[in-house]
Amino acid sequence: MKLSLQMSIGFASVFALVCFAVVASGLLSLSDITDAAERADARGYVGFWAFLGSIGVVVAVASWWLTRGKGAAADGDASR
């Protein structure tokens, strides 16, 4: 299955938003955790989801950059 670059931007953006929503939820619930070991585990969980969200952002930005480059190449931009 081939995805267009516009679809890749959309899917990656939605993925990043979901991941960062999990991060926000995890950060907001850290104050409710009293056990130090559970709090450390929760921080690791939040960090993992933040990493996944950053991957989504990178994929969305890279896809956007590629669509921008394709448009300039189609216009006959000789500077590239």
Alpha-carbon gap, residue 64 to 17, rounded angstroms? 16
User: Quick one: pLDDT at residue 48?
Assistant: 97
List the chain domain ranges: 15-71
User: Quick one: pLDDT at residue 57?
Assistant: 97
Local structure of residue 32 (DSSP, 8 states): G
User: Quick one: pLDDT at residue 79?
Assistant: 52
CA-CA distances (angstroms) from residue 5 to 9, 32, 48, 62? 6, 41, 26, 9
Residues in the chain predicted with pLDDT less than 50, given as ranges, are 78, 80
The token duo for 14 is 């939605």
Instruction: Tell me the whole-structure pTM to 2 decimals.
Output: 0.79
User: Quick one: pLDDT at residue 74?
Assistant: 53
User: Quick one: pLDDT at residue 22?
Assistant: 96
